[in-house]
Structure 1
Amino acid sequence: MPHRLTEANVLEVWEDGLGSNPAARSLLLASVAAPAGQSVADLPLSAVNSLLLEMRCGAFGDALPCTADCPACGDSLDVTVAVGELRPGEAGGGTGEGGAVPATGTLTAYGMTVTYRALTGRDVRDVDPTAPRARQALLRRCVVDVSPPADDLPDEVLEQVARRLPGLDPGADTVLTLNCPQCGHCWEAALDIADHLWTDVSGYAHRLLHEVHALARAYGWSEADVLSISPTRRHFYLEASTG
């Protein structure tokens, strides 16, 4: 059965994620929603996103409030998106031991036949986005075979691989189509599901820690004492201690 984000583990998840980069944090959050024993690092990005959406829906509800600035007029747009609208129709891979596996494709260019696969969470985590030629390094990780063998691939071939990746794993990127009510401009904006979820987790952890602090100061309880009390009763004690 999938794990869940609960009061019993949210502080641990938040603490573990504090020192992580965004890609590692995404895998940390996905691992909480994954079935016990499943490694999420080698799942295609669409499967990672599905786990993140499942966690978001279960812990914080179906509605994702988003804000974007219109690139044409600069007006700020508030949009609420339902989690169901963001779920990929098909994960980018087959189903093997441990879950979805990255789908593969082939292309022929510059006299070479290149077999490539969908990006995984491990690929994104292990490539420093600030490093020189990070994009090319990420794309090379997708290449699983070149015939005839070649020590290196031209950037033009890697870009052909890049253009085919969205079709290989349609849920890897989450893009919203937005329409500005002020000027009528229509554009596409990327939604970082992991970043959105981390903001929710971080906010919840901070609120929980403030409750622990207030009740520990008021009643001398330990953190474990406070967390063992249901949220409803905790709210009562918080009100009573400040009344």
Structure 2
Amino acid sequence: MLRLPVSGERARWRPMTGEDDIALADCAPGLLGALAFVSRSVVDADDRAIDAGALPVGDVDVLVLARRREVRGDAFVAEGTCAHCGADVDVSFSLAAYADHLRPRVPRGARQDPDEPRWWTVSAGVQVRVPTVDDVLDAAAAEDPRALLLSRCVRPYPLTAPVRVVERAMAALGPTLRSDVAGTCPECARGVLLDVDAREMCLADLRFLARAVYDDVHLIASAYGWGSDEILRMPTARRRRFAELIVGGAAHVLEEVGVG
């Protein structure tokens, strides 16, 4: 069970099935796709589906990173281009260390509202809360995204404090996992900074892996005559094992007859 760093909620990924893999493989990129993925497959401490739209964006980021770590491990490689010489640059880092570096922090002098824990007093008479996924998606479709977020996440509104004060407070209390990662160019040896959107990179990685479900269903259906619905209801780990056995058996037969 994972304690989410911004909201403090407890959540975990439930065991995935082929149906979940299909949904992941076909999900949209960006925050909307992450919302669909988390909403479908994450449960709370009572094993109830979590309301991912009500979570801060940073918590959804952490959940996606946690799933990628479960599936492929903690090591991650970000790719980019050196701004000085144009060479390709790879920077390796730990997802756990990256997420820990970007944990929430309480701004100096900020006080949590004891009656409404989501709200923080950050200036005389001014309170803020961290925007949720739903807030951000609604803002993206609004005529004035910034104004919509401020109207929902600051009180009183219109503002009685400088915008930069409340925006810095919200960023500190609810950081996302998009940040620069430092490295060294292998060609010119100068320092580079790569813009790393860790949630989106991990989601793309998971989406790519999930597409194996189509090959797995074809293999298993061809070998055993099972229907696709039956195969898709299987836990992902079990389905993958069946597919590996089929591929391994075929390779063994080819070796015996001297092919390959």
**TM-score after normalising by structure 2:** 0.69
Q: Which residue of 1 aligns with 2:241?
A: 232
Q: Which residue in 1 is equivalent to 2:92?
A: 80
Structure 2 gap ranges (5+)? 2-11, 107-111, 255-260
- Give the equivalent residue in structure 1 for 2:63: 51
State how 1:87-102 maps to structure 2 within 5 Å: 87-88=99-100, 90-91=103-104, 102=118
In structure 1, how many angstroms separate the alpha carbons of the residues matched to 2:148 and 2:88? 36
Asked if 1:172 corresponds to 2:149, the answer is no
Alignment equivalent of 2:195, drawn from 184, 190, 194: 190
Alignment CA distance shift 1:230-1:118 (3 Å): closer
C-alpha separation between the residues in 1 aligned to 2:91 and 2:230? 39
Paired residue for 2:144?
Answer: 133
Among the aligned pairs, what percent are the same residue?
A: 21
CA distance in 2, matches of 1:30, 1:58: 15
Change (3 A) 1:26 1:230: closer
SS of the residue 1:178 aligns to: strand
Look up the equivalent residue of 1:44 and give its one-letter code: P
What are the superposed Cα offsets for residues 61-101 of structure 1, whole Å, 9 maximum, x if unpaired? Answer: 2122221222232222112221211223645798x9xxxx6
Q: CA RMSD in A?
A: 3.4
Contact 1:46 1:92 in 2 (8 A): no
Residue 117 of structure 1 is matched in structure 2 by 129
The alignment partner of 1:87 has SS state of: helix
- Tell me which of 200, 203, 211 is aligned to 2:216: 211
Q: Does 1:158 align with 2:174?
A: no
**SS of equivalent residue, structure 1 residue 66:** strand
Which of structure 1's runs of 4+ aligned residues deviate more than 6 A? none
Tell me the alpha carbon deviations over residues 134-185 of structure 1, each in whole angstroms, 9 at most, x when there is no partner: 2343343321324xxx4xx59x94344223332222x424323323323344
Aligned residues: 224
Q: TM-score, normalised by structure 1?
A: 0.73
Structure-1 separation of matches of 2:184 and 2:176: 26
Q: Distance in 2 between matches of 1:119 and 1:187?
A: 31
